[in-house]
Amino acid sequence: MALIYLASQSPRRRQLLEQLGIAHETLLPGPDEDAEALETQEPGELPDAYVRRVTHNKLKAAQARLARRGLRALPVLCSDTTVALGTAILGKPVDADDALQILRRLSGHTHRVLTAVSLSWAGREAQLVSVSHVRFAAIPEAALRAYVASGEPMGKAGAYAIQSQIAGWIEHMEGSYSGIMGLPLYETAQLLRQAGIDC
């Protein structure tokens, strides 16, 4: 039996949780749930408030899913990542053209990657946020188009994955590599320890 539930479809988050040695099962949305609707930005919402709210809402949706399915009560972990350029939130691209526009904005600039992690256990809930800074060198248009054509940007906040080929254009990074991937291990371990889970 799993030690915790991971409410995420991301294979990267599963790999990172395994890195901590935490046994888990995924607790994924059913066909009746609109998971993408939880990520809708509210007017004027700033990146930190956005990532905290979305992660909290994802956790509440997972808790409801757990109860509805009558599954064994175990801790539930969920996470959300957003990319911010100033106060602008750069979410998942809607198509290839959008991905190209996002990457053009990031090229030659420093942006923030914010990842919130929430854990619920025994009637309690806690949340931590990891903030990292990433600077891209000026990326040639041909390289941007080739990256978009690879399909890698789709489904990724900020239209990129740090563990992909675009890492060759990262001049500087400060913060949590695992947080940029989608599950900051330090913050996650802190939450799990709060719940009495050794990792």
Q: Are strands 170-174 and 24-26 parallel, antiparallel or unpaired?
A: unpaired
CA 26, CA 39: separation in Å to the nearest integer? 19
Is 77 in contact with 4 (CB distance < 8 Å)? yes
Identified catalytic residue from 32, 34, 80, 97 = 80
Residue 29, exposed/middle/buried by CB under 10 A (0-12, 13-18, 19+)?
middle
Q: Which amino acid appears at position 61 of this protein?
A: A
Q: Are strands 110-121 and 170-174 parallel, antiparallel or unpaired?
A: unpaired
Residue 36, exposed/middle/buried by CB under 10 A (0-12, 13-18, 19+)?
exposed
Instruction: Match 């009637």 to its residue by tokens.
Output: 123
DSSP 8-class letter at 47: H
Residue 181's alpha-carbon distances to 17, 82, 100, 114, 184, in angstroms, are: 12, 11, 20, 10, 8
Q: Is 80 known to be catalytic? A: yes
Q: Which residues are catalytic?
A: 80
